[in-house]
Amino acid sequence: MNAALDAVVCLLLVSAAVVGLVTVEQSPTPNLGQADAVADALATTTAQVNYSLAPGVRVLDDADSRYGNAAATPLDSPELDRTAHGSLAGLLARAATGTAGVSLDSADTDPQAVPLTRTRADFRRSVREAVRARTGATARIDAVWRPYPDASVGSAVGVGPRPPTDGVHTATLVVPTGVEPISASESNGFETLGRAVADRTVQVLVPPGPAHVTLRGDDPAAGLVRYRYARLEAETNTSLSAPLATEDTDAANARVADALAPQVTADLRSRYDTPTAAAESVSVSSVRIVVRTWSPSAEAR
């Protein structure tokens, strides 16, 4: 499958140009040691991972015809095989956004417990294995995407054992998601800010341009994208049948954002005194990767 179609199925394609913008935040922790080196390696080391879309197709086994031929595709079909290439940091960012969960109608506060779809489950596994092979047994890497703190949409990918309580050094990477950061003009009111965050959140979940191209096809990817929209439709209690009938993904995304914006606005208003303070907490445009390392002797304490 070409890159455009694959971008939709993984929900976010962090291009080589974007990955080149990965930044390493300076930590106040003295003597970062190996954590700093591991963070640099994640930003600069490239890898190729092979994976299958079969987990996503498996959930469509009992689906109806609106998902095209995705559910009818054999799980061992070469049509479902994919390969991704990029920096380890970029792959982690794609794994985090591509396996995002939504818990709008759930008491569960961890969206990862309610993944939107399982299309990227095997990609997530392959990326974790690739990162683990290059970071060793005394490193923990956590890639987190959440539009704002405690948002009901988000995901986290962890690699490595839990660190000990003492002797841990930390470094942080920031990887762009491909959507624009919140501008000053969008943070002059809670409603304006909430809508801007909702719009960008939906763009990360389903990039409208590549989604439009994919929906016009007749392959498993088209069915998987339709199913993803169906999940968003159910989670946000909105109807997408009209725009999706004509592959109008811009209109479909706008409807999802319309439904999501009131909750985002209410969340930000309840947690922050001003829209400016709320805007400073918004992280929809980036994936944060935290690296923690320790010496073997620290584990024995």
73-130 pLDDT, tens per residue?
777 778 888 999 999 999 999 999 999 988 765 444 455 556 678 888 899 999 999 9
Note whether 98 and 124 are within 8 A (CB): yes
CA distance from start to end of the chain: 50
CB count in 10 Å sphere of residue 89 = 28
Closest CA to 164 of 139, 129, 144: 139
**Per-position b or e across 179-214, b if 16+ CB within 10 A of its CB:** beebeeebbeebebbbbbbbbbbbbbbbbbebbbbb
Tell me which of 109-123, 194-208, 253-267 is least confident.
109-123
Note whether 90 and 141 are within 8 A (CB): no
Residue 156 forms beta bridges with which residues? 144
121-156 pLDDT, tens per residue?
899 999 999 999 999 889 999 999 999 999 999 999
